[in-house]
Amino acid sequence: MAVGILLVGGMGTRLMPLTKHTPKPMLTVAGLPVTEHQLAMARKAGITTVVLATSYLSELFTPYFGDGSKWGMKLLYAVEDSALGTAGAIANAAQLLGTDDSIVVLNGDVLSSHDLSEQIRQHESNRADVTIHVTSVEDARAYGCVSIDSLGQVIAFLEKMERPISNTINAGCYIFDPAIIKAIPGHRVVSVERETFPELIDSGRKIRAFLDDSYWLDIGTPKALLQGSRDLVTGIADASALKLADILRHDQHSLVMASASLDSSAIIDCGSCIGSGASIGAGAHVSASIIEAGAIIGRGATILDSYIASGARIDENAKISAQFVTDTEFLSIPT
């Protein structure tokens, strides 16, 4: 049975200021941390043991996820004192697994509905060294580009570039033969995208592409994070991490988590989600936004395209648009 490593140690600079006090994978989309949606996806593919490879704000993961038993999983934590880069993190985390099973590595900032079970099956039946999930995008400039031959072998792997060689990109989910991970240099910063993959291709290793164009989104920017949450709420993305017991109300337009208090005259729409224990006053309108657990929205307030963090309090009749709001700050979200 395959085991997993979730890369959740990056600083999330593109999501600043949202990531100033919360690591990107712990930000809420559709009422739950991004990581929780990913664990549900891994669980669905039969993966029950996962190492969270943490570094930046590492102390915020364990209180929420614990030993994983709440999700029927075994969760372990690999903490990097200073960030080791994506490949360094994989090598470090794999030491906790000590296994000969295939190792599934997930970037911690992706929402994907691709068929992970099939990716693992193909990896094992092809006896590949690595199998990379690739997907097609219209504009590949912000991503790692992958070139594939007619047999599905990856022949080039090029990180973000102005003139991409193809619109097929690295989707951030890899299956590794554990022997490949053992060969990654330990105790120094190594990038899987910039060093490990290009080196493996150059040395003729069997690096396969698994092309699956199901729903996929990199939630690495504020705009994309809000989009991802809306997609989960409206059913465009797979929201099977949500448990009925945690939900007060869920339809195509909105999600309200249990124990939120909502005045009957408030309007929640366009894929907004209201976190548990949040309070929405009379006549308030929340549209295309994320309201985190415990936030308070005053009566008559309008919230559009915004992320209202736990502990924030929005005044009566306030008009908030494209803002990130915490208990102390109001910041514009770049468009």
Q: Which residues bind ligand GTP (CB under 6 A)?
A: 7-15, 24, 53-55, 80, 83-86, 89, 107-109, 220
> End-to-end CA distance of the chain, in Å?
43
The smaller minimum CB distance to ligand GTP, of residues 220 and 281, is found at 220
Q: Which residues contact 295 (CB under 8 A, 6 or more apart)?
A: 275, 278, 279, 308, 309, 310, 311, 312, 313, 314
Residue with smaller CB distance to ligand GTP, 23 or 281: 23
To ligand GTP, the closest distance from the beta carbon of 51 in angstroms equals 10
Q: 276 by DSSP, 3-state: which?
A: coil
CB of 221 to ligand GTP, least distance (A): 8
Residue indicated by tokens 């809306």: 230
Task: Give the residue with the Cβ less far from ligand GTP, 55 or 135.
Answer: 55
∠ CA 112-66-215, rounded to 5°: 5
Angle between helices 116-126 and 34-44 (to 10 degrees): 50
Least distance to ligand GTP from the beta carbon of 171, Å? 12
Strand order in the sheet with 247-250: 247-250, 254-257, 272-274, 290-291, 307-308, 323-325, 330-332
From CA 116, how far away is CA 3, in angstroms rounded? 12
CA–CA separation, 260 vs 248, rounded Å? 8
How far is Cα 262 from Cα 279, in angstroms, rounded to an integer?
Answer: 6
Nearer to ligand GTP among residue 58 and residue 323 (C-beta): 58
Among residues 11 and 248, whose Cβ is nearest to ligand GTP?
A: 11
In a 3-state reduction of DSSP, which class is residue 13?
helix
Query: Which contacts of 60-66 are long-range, i.e. CB under 8 A and separated by 24 or more positions?
Result: 60/22, 60/23, 60/26, 61/8, 61/23, 61/25, 61/26, 61/35, 64/26, 64/33, 65/35, 65/36, 65/39
Q: What is the DSSP letter of 185?
A: P
Q: Whole-number minimum distance, CB 18 to ligand GTP, in Å?
A: 10
CB of 230 to ligand GTP, least distance (A): 20
Q: Which is nearer to ligand GTP, 53 or 295 (CB)?
A: 53
> Do 31 and 257 contact (CB within 8 A), yes or no?
yes
Query: From the CB of 329, what's the least distance to ligand GTP, in Å?
Result: 19
Specify the residue, 201 or 219, whose C-beta has the smaller distance to ligand GTP.
Answer: 219
**Angstrom distance (rounded) from CA 116 to CA 213:** 12
Task: Please state the closest distance from residue 56 (CB atom) to ligand GTP, in A.
Answer: 7
Q: Which is nearer to ligand GTP, 218 or 238 (CB)?
A: 218
To ligand GTP, the closest distance from the beta carbon of 273 in angstroms equals: 22
